[in-house]
Amino acid sequence: MADLPFKAIDADQHFYEALDCCTRYLDPQFRDRGIKAVQQGTHTVLLAGREVFRFIRNPTFDPIIVAGCLDPLFRGQIPEGVDPASLSQVEPLNPAYQNAAQRIMELDAQEIEATIMFPTLAVGVEQALRYDVPALMATITAYNQWIEEDWGFDHQGRIWSTPVVCFADPELALAEVERLIERGAKVVNVRPAPVPDGHGGGRSLGHPSHDPVWAALAAADIPVCYHLADSGYDATVGAAWGGPSRMEPFNEVNVLSRLLVSDRAIHDAMASLIVDGVFHRHPTLRMASIENGSDWAALLVKRLRKQANQTPWAFHEDPLETLRRHVWVMPYYEEDMRKLADLIGVERVLFGSDWPHGESLANPTDFVKELHAFSNDEIVQVMRTNVLELMNGTS
């Protein structure tokens, strides 16, 4: 574990959900249309409506993959002669993965002052229920109520759990955001993806029908995170090239799909927000890209600037300035973080460990070892103060 002269703040940790996370508070009329656990022989599986929901292979999370054991795989730095499959290890479920009080003790041991806490299972729900918008919206509300009960939205000022916001029904989305604000949510999570319309189509995140939701979040000073999710690109891009139509993270990898899908979702999500004027109409919004890497940022800026030159009437300013003002980015730790900082500003670069997922840093503060191109003051920014600025001083 890195020895830091300050307490770090982690922009990306995860809990593992309880089996009833989507059903405990679900409106009974959607009992057979949402996400629920059932027994299939000796195994527990999830159903999305009447189909098996394979985004999570073992929804009991016990046993669970060892935190950080897949680090070399996700860096693309597997030693020569090592079978990638041999890296995966499992262990009994750590109570800290499902209990806030136990997690506080883990944060103490990690010398982490606070963290933004993200879902594991729930990042696949919107795609799984995209054809049944009423059931999707009811499931999201039920899930957020579960988060509040089991984790809280601001546990001891140290765990900021992220309720989910889904725009599939804009009126219900607004009602849920208003409820979350009233219940004390400090930050929310939105899927980086087209918004499903229930019929196989979609809308831009910047569609005018979403403006009341953006306005409510801006007025409440609540930042919006876009965590890596099943954004539907396997069903469109991957499947079009012969790959699987679903994102199933722990099944056999389709190499071509992995390359084609990659970081397209966050690139496209940010493009939709900028091109469709969300930041112009809601100039105080703060957003963050979490666990999507950072290589997409330079490509997006290049494309946006070219487009702004070709269609200047569609842009209110240099799109790079829009990105710099409104968006924080958590890079993957093997990426060129100095390049990212030079592009968007060091004050917009976030430290995130992804703990306790298999691809995470086993010791979260080891992230600092990748900051060799940064000054001591800049290291403090990345490892601590930048996330506080994203959260608008919440501590």
Annotate 196-208 with DSSP letters as a single string: E-SSS-EE-TT-G
8-390 under CATH 3.10.20.30, yes or no: no
Asked whether 246 and 174 are in contact (CB, 8 A), the reply is no
Q: Name the token pair of 51.
A: 């189909």
> Is the pLDDT reported for residue 394 higher than 50?
no
Q: How many H helices and E strands in the chain? A: 16, 15
Predicted local distance difference test score (pLDDT) of residue 144: 99
Contact assessment for residue 130 and residue 232, using Cβ atoms and an 8 Å cutoff: yes
Sorting pLDDT into bands at 50, 70 and 90, what band is 251? confident
Region 187-203 average pLDDT: 98
pLDDT at 4: 95
- Per-residue pLDDT, 3: 87
Q: What is the CA radius of gyration of the chain?
A: 20
Sequence-distant contacts of 88-96: CB under 8 A, at least 24 apart: 88/358, 89/65, 90/63, 90/64, 90/65, 90/66, 91/63, 91/64, 91/66, 92/62, 92/63, 92/64, 93/16, 93/60, 93/61, 93/62, 93/63, 93/64, 94/64, 94/356, 96/356
Between 80-89, 185-194, 287-296, the lowest mean confidence (pLDDT) is in 80-89
Nearest to 58 by CA among 87, 83, 88: 88
- The answer, as to whether pTM is greater than 0.85, is yes
- Asked if residue 298 lies in contact with residue 323, where contact means CB atoms within 8 angstroms, the answer is no
pLDDT-based confidence at 395, cuts 50/70/90? Answer: very low
Residue 352: strand, helix, or coil: coil
Distance between CA atoms of residues 40 and 57, nearest Å: 12
pLDDT digits (tens, 9 = 90+) for 45-71: 999 999 999 999 999 999 999 999 999
Percent of the chain with pLDDT over 70: 99
Least reliable range by pLDDT among 74-83, 155-164, 343-352: 74-83
| In the chain, alpha helices (H) | 71-75, 100-110, 125-128, 133-150, 170-183, 211-219, 233, 239-240, 255-261, 264-275, 278-281, 295-310, 319-326, 337-344, 376-380, 386-390
- Which of 258, 137, 261 shows the shortest CA–CA distance to 192? 261
Sheet of strand 8-14, all strands in order from the earlier edge strand to the far edge? 8-14, 112-118, 159-161
pLDDT digit string, tens, across residues 315-324: 999 999 999 9
Confidence band, pLDDT 50/70/90 cuts, at residue 2: confident
Centroid of chain to Cα 145 = 19
Q: Check residue 248 and give its pLDDT.
A: 85
Would you give the DSSP letter of residue 381? I
Mean pLDDT, rounded, for 329-353: 97
pLDDT, position 392: 82
**CA distance linking residue 347 with residue 29, whole number of Å:** 47
User: Tens digits of per-residue pLDDT, 92-122?
Assistant: 999 999 999 999 999 999 999 999 999 999 9
All structural domains of the chain with their residue ranges: 8-390
pLDDT in tens, 342-371: 999 999 999 999 999 999 999 999 999 999
